[in-house]
Structure 1
């Protein structure tokens, strides 16, 4: 279970960092896609906020202890803080972050399966399904 706790804590940290990053992009996005991106980024950060809480509570429910401070998140996260300035770079960064999270969530599923934790595996599978859709939408926007 310890490996699963570590993997879930990484996702709690990732969701915290991604939530902040998405807010940054939401506030600073510019250009012809402003309205659609501004709205989509808000939808995504609201979704990520729900996931942040869901993963932390799942960790507690299975006996783990989620990280719950910024210092801890930054030590564990796989993501970088926002530095992008152009809208295109913001979209690329979000898409790449979601792709990385999908890869890591597949590892969560593997770890959960090894300890017969079907609830965690199901939660990660649902998250992947949603992130895949966001990746598709951002990719389509970039290929205009």
Structure 2
């Protein structure tokens, strides 16, 4: 697929991909917050895990933005834009314990998986863009693996 100028039809793909980009950006910042503010006996392990997760988020958001540019779409690039379309809320609970933090991340990842599934369907069915759909499916797979690991950590 090679879209040069987003028309009315391609605007739908651009909008849905920008929502996913926004989710990754907000999650990236949120994971940094947890990385910096986690406390308690599990600090050493969780501090490292949150760094791993925000590095994954950075990779995914860059990959998505570059894919958008490659097919002629315009990725959003400001926090104002991200916050206006993201399904993930920024911040975290002040003084939250590690179980609350992990549950928050799992819930956010679940929201991201839902959005990515919808974006995958739009890319594949409406635009026949299997390359973008494949990339989004990889994002889903990675998030689902992390959800499983985080749920196992909290005993779910």
TM-score scaled by length of structure 1: 0.95
**CA-CA distance at 1:88 after TM superposition:** 1.7
Q: Equivalent residue for 1:109?
A: 120
**CA-CA distance at 1:32 after TM superposition:** 2.1
- Structure 1: 4+ residue segments shifted above 6 A: none
More helix as a share of residues: 1
Alignment of 1:52-63 (within 5 A): 52-63=61-72
Alignment of 1:38-57 (within 5 A): 38-57=47-66
**CA-CA distance at 1:2 after TM superposition:** 2.0
Alignment of 1:129-144 (within 5 A): 129-143=141-155
In 1, Cα distance between the equivalents of 2:48 and 2:12?
36
Q: Equivalent residue for 1:75?
A: 84
| Structure 1 segments unaligned to the other structure (5+ residues) | none
Is residue 33–residue 92 contact of structure 2 (8 Å, CA) maintained in 1?
no
| Structure 2 segments unaligned to the other structure (5+ residues) | 1-9
Question: Which structure has the bigger radius of gyration?
Answer: 2
**CA-CA distance at 1:83 after TM superposition:** 2.5
* CA RMSD, Structure 1 to Structure 2 (Å): 1.1
TM-score scaled by length of structure 2: 0.88
**CA-CA distance at 1:31 after TM superposition:** 1.7
Q: Equivalent residue for 1:10?
A: 19
State the Cα deviation string for residues 33-61 of structure 1 (Å, max 9, x = none). 21111111101100100111111111111
Aligned residues: 144
Q: Equivalent residue for 2:35?
A: 26
Is residue 34–residue 92 contact of structure 2 (8 Å, CA) maintained in 1?
no
